[in-house]
Structure 1
Amino acid sequence: MPDAHGFAYTVHGTQVTITHHGRSAVVLRGDRAAEFLARVEREDPQELMARLTGNYKRGNERTARNHPRNRGRRGR
């Protein structure tokens, strides 16, 4: 996975809000918020937040699909 960056989180009581470049990406509540707060101490916070928000696609999927080496692979 490419380097994740630009993520931040804030805690509001039992709720955790994860933002990406200042925009709200996901809100965790209850058990998921507690699990996140425990994991963020042990793991890389940026990578963890990228995984939780599903920030894997980078916008180049259409370009890659149209690349000459990938032509003929439609439908896979």
Structure 2
Amino acid sequence: MIQYAGETGRKVYDFLGVAPEDKKKHHLAGVTYFKSRFGGEVVKFPNGCILVLSWKYYLLWIVRWVRFWR
């Protein structure tokens, strides 16, 4: 997707989040390092929200989220 964005002349690519700058042990620290190697700038947006279209998949998402944060 990143390569496609570059090939088609896109100026903005949303990487969907990075670790806070003051949190070196954050669970997204490695991902943040990877993303930072592409250059660019970090743009902060308000927190997103989840739009529930299927309760079945939402319940599955909740179960995965709880297991991840245990």
Same structural fold, with TM-score higher than 0.5 when normalized by the shorter chain: no
Shorter-chain TM band: under 0.3
* Alignment TM-score, normalising by the size of structure 1: 0.24
Greater length-normalized contact order (CA 8 Å, ≥ 6 residues apart): 1
Specify the structure having the higher radius of gyration (Cα): 1
**Structure ranking higher in strand proportion:** 1
